[in-house]
Amino acid sequence: MGERRVDQWEKRLGLRVPPGPYRAVLATELARVGADADNDSELDDATLAAITGAVVSGHTYFFRDADQLGAVVELLGRCTERPRLWCAGCSTGEEPYSVAILAAEAGLEVDLVATDINPEAVAWARAGRYPASALRHVPPELLARYFRSNPSGYLIDAGLRERVQFEVHDLFSGVPPAGGLAWDVILCRNVLIYYQPSKGVAWAASVRGWLKRDGGLVLGASDHLAATLGTAHQVRGWPVYRAAPAGAGVPDGPVRPDLYRRALDEIDAGDPAAAENTLATHLARRSGDVVAWLSLGNLHLSRHDFVGAERCYREALALAPTLAEAHFWRGVLRRKQGDQDDALRALRAARFLAPEFWPAAALLGSLWNRRGDRARGRAEHERALALLEGNTENPFQARVRGLPGLQMSADELRALARA
């Protein structure tokens, strides 16, 4: 019964639940609440959040963006004392183990603490068992040195497992992880993209006090959030944000890679063709930037280049399968193409993954109305209106403003919600 429920959610919402502990967790949670994919709009936010917590990316593997991990190890190698690293939002452990391998190869002894909010993910990481697909980018010599094959894939060498301390920890609790304070490096890659920018800003403002004076915060390619840790400097071409001095102010807006910022300026200047070229150049260097893929897709969508938009949204979803905004834009594309069934799946996935993401609820309401289900349409519009009232924050991370046909002002969505 549990597997059938998971299969139903996958089919209805267009989400893929990867093998491992998460599939079992999701089956258990669905059984607990008696949920199926037809009544997700009736579930309360707490239940939705619990179910969503069981659905994870699956797009995690060893040595993802290996050049950036090399920059982290270079930073650690500059420390005059035994370096301390916190890997925040470590999922099932591939990232901290990758850093541990690179540090061992460099002859570094590192105090490495890795945390995630999901206890099942932490248990998986501690066990150190991985399918072969997660090791596809591990060089053969490192595979032989740090892994042991078993019937289900590979097992991390016991000596390497001892180098990483895994803990369950809520990134936004306001409390540092078990390793305490005074970190040389805080590594938090492609986690903050799943939260509103203001929440990421608040988190950055708090962790600045958890770094050593010369410590640095390293974010992922997709994390276009304001850094409250001072001016970024480059290590191997990757930005590192230094700890801010006491009393430093919080910047008002996001700090973005130069090419991405240039593309946004070109959009504002009314030159979308130049912006497309700039984004393409940026993505050739930073192919893991989910927000840039979505922005490029929106550029294509605004001029009805559905093929180009589809390619970009697919790239974004491959990188971040549980990012609500990626599903939302795919739903907008499908709606414009007249594929109501696929648009419905994509928009429901977006609303399921982020119940507070009111644009998905607003468009879902219109789509249900178009399909003749007025009761569901009214419920979604009321939900969107309730979420929108008093909320002035831009819900989108990708560029929307300045793109014909994609500008969704709060007033327009309020009118849509009240329709």
Per-residue confidence (pLDDT) for residue 60, from 0 to 100: 74
Render pLDDT for 245-292 as a digit per residue (tens, 0 to 9). Answer: 544 443 433 444 578 889 989 998 999 999 999 999 999 988 888 999
pLDDT at 130: 92
Helices (H), 194-271: 197-207, 258-268
Same topology between domain 66-242 and domain 258-418: no
- Which of 88-97, 156-165, 175-184, 301-310 is predicted with the least confidence, judged by mean pLDDT? 175-184
**Fold observed for domain 258-418:** 1.25.40
Run of H or E residues at 410: helix 410-418
How far is residue 230 CA from its own chain's centroid?
23
| Residue 156 pLDDT grade (very low, low, confident, very high; cuts 50, 70, 90) | very high
CATH class in words for 66-242: alpha beta
DSSP for 342-401 reads: HHHHHHHHHHHH-TT-HHHHHHHHHHHHHTT-HHHHHHHHHHHHHHHTT--S---SS--T
Domain range summary for the chain, segments of one domain joined by +: 2-53, 66-242, 258-418
- Residue 270 CB-density burial (10 A; 0-12 exposed, 13-18 middle, 19+ buried): exposed
pLDDT band at 357 (very low <50, low <70, confident <90, very high): confident
> What is the per-residue pLDDT for 14?
57
Is residue 158 over pLDDT 90? yes
- Dihedral (CA of 312, 139, 233, 60) sign: positive
- Is the per-residue pLDDT at 20 higher than 70? no
pLDDT for 104-124, tens place per residue?
999 999 999 999 988 878 988
Task: Give the pLDDT confidence score for residue 253 in this predicted structure.
Answer: 39
Q: Which of 1-10, 45-54, 329-338 has the lowest mean pLDDT?
A: 45-54
